[in-house]
Chain A
Amino acid sequence: MTTNAPALELRRVNKWFGAVHANKDISLSVGRGTIHGIIGENGAGKSTLMSIVYGFYQADEGEIFVNGNPCHIDNPQASIKAGIGMVHQHFMLVDTFTVLENIILGVEGGNRLAGGIRKAREELQRLEREYTLEVDVDALVGDLPVGIRQRVEILKALYRGAEILILDEPTGVLTPQEADHLFRILNTLRDQGKTVILITHKLREIMAITDTVSVMRRGEMVAHVPTRDTDREKLAELMVGRSVLLRVEKEEAKPGAELMTIEDLNFIDADGVSRLKNIGITLKAGEILGIAGVSGNGQSELLEVLGGVIPPTSGSIKYKGEELVGSSKFNARNLRKIGLGHVPEDRHKAGLILSFSANENTALGYHDLPMFNKGTTLDRAQMLSTCEAYIEKFDVRPPDATLKASGFSGGNQQKLVLAREMEQDPDVLLVGQPTRGVDIGAIEFIHKQLIHMRDQGKAILVVSVEIDEVMSLADRIAVMFDGKIVGELAAKDATEQKLGLMMAGISDQEQAAPIPDNEALV
């Protein structure tokens, strides 16, 4: 082994999926004991590249070197053996197992568990001390918040002897505070000589934590730069291939009539847990109300109740002055007909039927409108032409209305959902996580569309766990914690720190002490 060799090196890696050249001649060198960022839009090929390194896919051409040694990685086991660990965007954990059981899963070390568990416990305690991971190894994974689950994944990789740790979009599900904690852990890992590869599309993270950064665009590696020699604007330009607006440009809102008034809204779920507690908010024409909060504090339930997917337990929802609770109109199908669009938080679970073509998805929820029906027959030609119009207007790529929804990248899938809900011209639009897993270019586009809709006098509710997004998009911000609205404030008065504390359940009034103006965080 050559001591100066980079921890991971790729030479001229190529990968095709059918006609799509997903990785073009990628060369990459990651120095040992560094944090290396890989940034690029969705569909730029960064996940494909990392899947090759982790052995999910095999490169069609090219070589991989680990510590200077050529490595043939054709399955994840080979990758683990080479000392590569991966923390996936969607955690691969068994909810009903404890942390310890999850970690030893697959490396139990024998047919009987007792011995393996004892050894694992000691080893884990050592690892936790070393890297300040703070995880209770006997807790059930299902009971843990996402931030901790992610640490379990990291622990799992370290336990398997990972020297190179790949994290795929690790902060997507974290609060700013949790993300900061993660970054501290990553710094510790680096200081202990581990190599960290961070895949993300968030420029802020790249700037905050990486030593070097590689930028991918359309399957190609377009730049390798030391992080200190670059800035957000330059990186964004490299990613997209043109200069982009990082902040949303918008005029002052001109709020009009109250289109939707929600009072004392409560929802108790099937397990008897109170998910919404006396929610009171109003949606006004020509205004965007943002709901900030750590995911799992009732935002999802709020969206579903307002969208007519689940009935509330009690409370009042007035739509254009008319009470919806208890009315026969109050279900998802009829709400769409009276002008309420709903972009769900999870496009895979709810927003799309992935096995259906794009044009069939265009009619989801609207399939019984006269425009899509000729008598008893579904007007498939109309579905196709409507979808083609959406694709053109929202610049969906590839522009193929007959392609299955699963064949589009995340950003393009999101555009399909947004197009469907926005182009039916609703008066009130509910949007959950408008840009989750969506690339910068598409984020800019989606934000512009939402602002444009607002300026046409529509009322918009945006729920997002991205604090930046809420701050830049919304005119008013309400923060949810534990099913309650902790507080509401005008977007211009909001700072990240203020919102962060509210997201932890501390209301504006309780934040009596003067708050240091910490713009540097943004």
Chain B
Amino acid sequence: MSETKSKFGAPSKVPAWVNLGLIPLINLLAAFLISGIVILIVGDNPLKALEVLIYGAFGYPEAIGYTLYYTTNFIFTGLAVAIAFHCGLFNIGAEGQAFIGGLGVGIAALYFDFLPMWAVIPLAVMSGAIFGAGWAYVPAYLQAKRGSHIVITTIMFNFIAFSVMNYLLVEVMINPDAGGSPETREFAEHIWLAHAPDFTGMADSPLNFSFIFALLLSGAFYYFLWHTRWGYEIRVVGQNETAAKYAGISPSKNIILAMVISGGLAGFVAVNELLGVHHRVLMDFTGGYGFVGIAVALMGRNHPVGIFMAALLFGAIYQGGTELSFEMTSINKEMVIVIQGLIILFSGALENMFRPKIENLFKKRQSLSQTEA
């Protein structure tokens, strides 16, 4: 009974596993196939490359540690892009928000290190989120109240973020003992985030407590969007602004709210990178995580579970790819970027290439089984 109930009148429904499992898998395989052809062209064995890639990402504890460390960043930026997506906004600025988040983390860690650990770490985390959020607030305000397109403004804000940070690190916050490189002095040791414990074998990898934090945030993200009235409002605005106005939900307020949360989430990249790994503020610690976050959110369908899987995939490719460029002479760093690009292309931009055909296949099968019944 319950089965017929869920089926009746729902013509376009394909099983969830097709939507969430099969189609992303096919996209991924297509990306690997093309990557394989490229590797073949440069004269190497694609199967061996795949083996190195997978071994490099998951083959031994330290590799897993690295993979999860990258994954952490992608979870933060993936969630950041996703919450903006749920409000109908395309936040291209996660990179800049993460960078400015680093400023927040840095200020707290450098100037409040007289506080004990239990006070200064939460302070630094909060401060990173607030700075990231603040950086997202301006484009959000301009979009909500002035109609300036958020894609344009967030891109511009990335450039501004880089320039501001460059100036601050070179002229203001620079550590004179660092031999002229644009970075601050090292944070006090009690502010460093705990790394993975020894028994895991990942203690030497940069994996740190931020990973747990990212998982907790994913849960909070889900709860917020689907189980609170504020999340409901954000989703209403994202789906249908006219209906939102009709229902008395302010689009501009929610645009600002979603973007501020988005910027805050992006700011957490700085927690992983600065409190967890580098223990100082330095240039370019954001390493493109903000941009890849867009692909992670797309591939993960803006759902925390999907985002985790996509983040893990990209984490593995980052780590495995690094290994690959060490191991195989014909494959350099640029080639790894080509592979990443293909995955983004197939699972992000060309997401709907295989979908209609596969969906049709399942619809036909369903209707056939119905007529036989």
Contact = CB atoms under 8 A, between A and B. Distances in A.
Interface of A: 16-21, 60, 307-310, 331-336, 342, 344, 349-356, 360, 363-365, 367-368, 372-373, 376-378, 380, 397-400, 402-404, 407-408
B367 A352 contact: no
B68 to A, nearest CB: 31
Contacts of B6: 400, 402
27 contacts: A16-B370, A17-B11, A17-B12, A18-B11, A18-B12, A18-B367, A19-B4, A307-B246, A308-B248, A309-B246, A309-B248, A310-B245, A350-B243, A353-B240, A354-B239, A364-B236, A367-B229, A368-B229, A377-B228, A378-B228, A398-B8, A400-B8, A400-B9, A402-B6, A403-B9, A407-B9, A407-B10
Nearest to A310: B245
A365 B366 contact: no
Given A350-B242, A400-B6, A377 B248 contact: no
Interface string B339-373: 00000000000000000000000010011001100
Given A18-B13, A21-B370, A353-B240, 14 more contacts: A18-B12, A18-B363, A19-B8, A20-B8, A307-B246, A309-B246, A332-B247, A355-B239, A364-B247, A365-B246, A365-B247, A377-B227, A404-B10, A407-B10
Given A309-B246, A365-B246, A400-B9, A18 B370 contact: yes
Contact of A397 (B9, B12, B231, B243): B9
B9 A408 contact: yes
Contacts of B246: 307, 309, 332, 342, 344, 350-351, 365
B232 interface: yes
A331 B247 CA distance: 9
A16 B367 contact: yes
B183 interface: no
Contact of B227 (A20, A60, A353, A380): A380
B233 interface: yes
A349 B11 contact: no
A351 B243 CA distance: 6
A496 B249 CA distance: 40
Given A349-B243, A368-B229, A20 B9 contact: yes
> Which 4 A-B pairs rank lowest in CB-CB distance, beginning with the nearest?
A333-B248, A17-B11, A332-B248, A365-B247
A380 B225 CA distance: 12
Residue among B8, B228, B245, B247 having the largest count of chain A Cβ atoms under 10 Å: B247
A50 B227 CA distance: 42
A364 B243 contact: yes
Contacts of B12: 17-18, 407
A355 B86 CA distance: 12
A373 B226 CA distance: 13
Nearest to B233: A367
